[in-house]
Amino acid sequence: MANPTKWTIDRAHSEITFAVRHLMISNVKGAFTIFDASIHTTGKDFMTAEIDLWIDAGSLTTGDSVRDEHLRSADFFDVEAYKQISFVGSTIGESDRTGNRELWGDLTMKGITKNVKLTVQFGGIVRDPWGNEKAGFTISGKFNRSDWGLVWNATMETGGLLVSDEISILKNEFLTEFSGKFISKMIIANREKFAFGYKAFTERIKRQIIQLPVNSNGYPDYEFMDNYTRQKESEQIAKFTSYINARLEKVKNFREVPKLENKKWNEFFIEDIFHIKAGKRLTKADMIKGETPFIGASDSNNGITNFVSNTNSSLDSNVLGVNYNGSVVENFYHPYKAIFSDDVKRLSLKEVEGNEFLYLFIKTIILKQKSKFQYAYKFNEARMLRQKLLFPIDKNGKIDYNYMENYIKKIEYEKLTKYIERKTTNAQH
């Protein structure tokens, strides 16, 4: 009999996201940022796995603070009364021909427990440079929110549904893939007209006026829309192809290096490796629109939260921007000139001139520390200085910057060549 094994979730490299149809014209996407899970199993095929997952319901975010507060209210998740969402799973089916398995378990929200079916794709097991075994999974599923009492739509008195099962389908015999894309953009351009108090009901959609090019007879010029979209798509493909070729030229001369697990590693204090520079506070009220990226303590869009014409002492480039506040420990490489919030520290290498390949390697190393820090225990400068990081080393015990650069170049080269091969194969078929 195999020995029982407990697996814990790697929160730095895991996410729980959701999507729901909103206003008939878009999907609202969101995530839960605070969660934990464990898996108990007696075999590495995970067929005997017992899964225990909990989510902090109050950590819900959709990128809109007003909407988030509404979702946390008693109308939806009622996080004051029901602070956790949990899932306990213990039944995993055999793999189908696509490699997917069925996972059955009990999902509890708002004090209601329902048995649900999820789809699991097992990504395999690897060993990281620190000797830890990592197992990768993608789990997905669809639920009817009303099964857990999330029935806010039923209480509306104005008619219609804000978050709805209703989908309006627009059909036209003259539509093609390309003219359809053109018209879709025109429809979406009107989304600002609709809000919580003014919903995109089917009848309103029917009477909605949109701007379209017309022919000599005054009718929608579907041929123009088709040709215009084809041309724009062709231009974008050409730009992307040019970019791909330029990147290949930049990374093709990489040197072969050992795998991470075959490389020697050692710990180093951040203060011994980096110059650490502070950002500078810039309030929203003081921001002037412009083209300079403003880097805030965000976990998306490469940390860019605005574009400004302001300048200050934080103006910098070719640095890692590391969040000590907000999305703590998240970090991004900035090759361009940008100004930085006082919630973001700028790190630049002391011993060598940093570049995109070195900083992208180091980015992942820093993210390994994410589980140690949070809002109540920020990654401030004092803690940064004395934080140890694991780096690959050369035969002299020094940080092997050449290894890191070539490792990232190799990864990019392999991904780009695989992409080109796939596109070439698809084109031939």
Percent of the chain with pLDDT over 90: 38
Instruction: Answer yes or no: is pLDDT of 91 > 80.
Output: no
* pLDDT for position 20: 63
More confident residue, 401 or 30: 401
Q: Model confidence over 100-133: pLDDT tens digits?
A: 778 888 888 888 888 888 887 766 677 766 677 7
- pLDDT for position 123: 64
Question: What's the structural domain count of the chain?
Answer: 3
142 and 232 together in one domain? no
Angle at 205 between CA 203 and CA 209, to 5 degrees: 120
Residue 37: band (very low, low, confident or very high) from pLDDT cuts 50, 70, 90 = confident
Are residues 334 and 388 located together in one domain of the fold?
yes
Same domain, 205 and 342: no
Are 221 and 350 within one domain?
no
Does residue 350 register a pLDDT over 50?
Answer: yes
pTM: 0.54
Pairing relationship of beta strands 133-140 and 112-127 according to DSSP bridges: antiparallel
Q: Are 89 and 46 in contact (CB under 8 A)?
A: no
Within a domain: residue 96?
yes
Domain coverage including residue 33: 5-155
Write down which residue in 126, 155, 184 finishes a domain: 155
DSSP 300: S
Question: Of 217, 233, 251, which residue constitutes the final position of a domain?
Answer: 251
Q: Would residue 333 count as lying in a domain?
A: yes
Sign of torsion over alpha carbons 407, 409, 411, 413: negative
Whether residue 113 is found in the same domain as residue 180: no
Same domain, 286 and 244: no
CATH code for position 362: 3.90.220.20
**At 412, is the secondary structure helix, strand, or coil?**
helix
Query: Do 287 and 379 belong together in one domain?
Result: yes
In this structure, are 221 and 139 located in the same domain? no
In a domain, 95, yes or no: yes
